[in-house]
Amino acid sequence: MKRFAAILLLAAGGCAAHTSGCPSRLEPTYLPARFRQVAARALVPGGGARTWRDGDRLVQLVDHVTANLGDNVRSTKVRGFVAAYGATGLPAAPLAVEWRDRCDTPYALLARGIGPAELLRIANGLRP
Amino acid sequence: MRAAIATSIMALVVVMSTGKADAAGFNRNWTRYDAQSYAFHGLRERYVFGGAKFINNDRWDASCSSSCTSSQEGIDCSGFAAKVYAVPYLTPETTVYHPYPTFAFYYVGKDGYGPTGSYPYHGGRFWYSNGNNRNPYWMDMFVWDSHAGGPSDHMGLLRGRNSDGTWMTREARGAAYGVVEVNRSLGDLIRWHYKRVQRAAWGKK
């Protein structure tokens, strides 16, 4: 009887838990010289944001992002996944690339003070 | 012990049977006219990546995204479409709330309803798609997915059919455009594998 109750409780817990099992944290293996990680608020809604800066230049990685760049974008690949980059309308980060990584986890890498080629190099250097 | 088990079973039944849409305050009285009016207010306002707020004054106010002051605005395609559809619940034009990315609307459940997966109020029956994209209707959504042949992850509202057969849209198109009206041919929408998404329930007027 106790075992039955325990199974019930486990089932109830399992229904509520997030069980994707997919890694969401990517780390940059390439950043332009002098970029250092800093604490900063997320520029767009999502699960979590990490920011690297060099003076006024900035890149920010946001996981589980719910933002979309619209239809005025350029297609590319990031880490082998379909991606798009374009203007954000955000003065704090005018450029971004967005893609869905493993397990359909959506990411955005936003930037200020660096161009698309550098942005894509950083994005393609991300590793779990 | 039996009482405890019975209580557990009752709790499970309640959790599983309570509509999550109800929990979210999904408004089943929201009409196509309400959505049309809401979308019209958004026209000529500023697009911002990740934004979910606009000020209805027909100019691009200072930009913002997830955090906005009263004099800033910005909204992206999925933020705009969700607010027009009042999903998961109705939020004022100036309230920042952006719960769903575009592909959350594209990938509905086996029963045709969304949102699915790990999105807020997943399992709620807020929108619906049966895959038929040949006969859209007034205030349906068009949704593109870059993983399904779309030119990008983008979406908007189909405001109405023009006399030449194209569809007039309302969409937060991008940073260079803002929230605009676009005339899109159904052929182009189909060529890019758009998904026609409907609100799960409309109020009657």
CATH number of residue A117's parent domain: 3.40.1000.10
Contacting residues of A for B147, CB less than 8 Å apart: 82, 100
Q: For chain B, give the mean pLDDT.
A: 90
Edge to edge, the sheet with strand A57-63 lists A36-38, A48-54, A57-63, A106-112, A95-100, A81-87, A74-78
The pLDDT value given to residue A72 = 87
Strands B62-63 and B167-174: what pairing? unpaired
Contacting residues of A for B118, CB less than 8 Å apart: 18, 20
Buried b (16+ CB within 10 A) or exposed e, B169-198: bbbbbbbebbbbeeebebeebeebbbbbbb
Q: Which residue of chain B has the CA closest to A42? A: B66
* Total number of domains constituting chain B: 1
- Given B11, B65, B146, which is nearest A12 (Cβ)? B11
Report whether B105 contacts B171 (CB < 8 A). no
A108-126 residue pLDDT tens: 999 999 999 999 999 999 9
The pair of three-digit structure tokens given for residue A97, joined into one six-digit string:
């690339």
Please name which of B168, B174, B182, B101 lies closest in space to residue B139, comparing C-alpha atoms.
B168
Residue A111 included in any domain: yes
**Residue B61 DSSP code:** P
Render B185-201 in DSSP notation, one character per residue. -HHHHHHTT-EEEEES-
Q: Which domain holds residue B116?
A: 22-199
Cis peptide preceding B88, ω within 30 of 0: yes
The pLDDT value given to residue A7 = 43
Task: Compute the average pLDDT of residues B154-158.
Answer: 98
B66-114 residue pLDDT tens: 889 999 999 999 999 999 999 999 999 999 999 999 999 999 999 999 9
Q: Do B174 and A12 touch (CB under 8 A)?
A: no
A29-72 residue pLDDT tens: 999 999 999 999 999 999 899 999 999 999 999 999 999 999 98
Please name which of A85, A83, A91 lies closest in space to residue A72, comparing C-alpha atoms.
A85
The answer to which of A55-69, A114-128, B21-35, B169-183 has the lowest mean pLDDT is: B21-35
Residue A13 included in any domain: no
Predicted confidence band of residue A24 (pLDDT cuts 50, 70, 90) = low
- Given B2, B12, B74, which is nearest A89 (Cβ)? B74
CA–CA distance, A62 with B7 (Å, rounded to integer): 42
The pair of three-digit structure tokens given for residue B161, joined into one six-digit string:
């059919």
Residue A1 included in any domain: no
Q: Do B153 and A69 touch (CB under 8 A)?
A: yes
Which residues, in sequence order, are CB contacts of B146 under 8 Å at separation 6+? A75, A82, A84, B152, B153
Predicted confidence band of residue B14 (pLDDT cuts 50, 70, 90) = very low
Please give the ipTM for the structure prediction: 0.84
Residue A15 included in any domain: no
CA–CA distance, B113 with B136 (Å, rounded to integer): 17
Domain of residue B59, CATH code: 3.90.1720
Render A43-100 in DSSP notation, one character per residue. SSSSSEEEEEEETTEEEEEEES-----TTS-EEEEETTEEEEEEE-S-TT--EEEEEE
Report whether B142 contacts B63 (CB < 8 A). no
Q: Do B101 and A96 touch (CB under 8 A)?
A: no
Q: Which domain holds residue A107?
A: 22-127
Rounded to a whole number of angstroms, the distance between the first and last alpha carbons of chain B is: 53
Q: Do A67 and B101 touch (CB under 8 A)?
A: yes
CA–CA distance, A111 with A128 (Å, rounded to integer): 20
B118-154 residue pLDDT tens: 899 999 999 999 988 999 999 999 999 999 999 999 9
User: Could you say which residues from 29 to 58 on chain A have a Cβ atom under 8 Å away from some Cβ of chain B?
Assistant: 41-46
* Total number of domains constituting chain A: 1
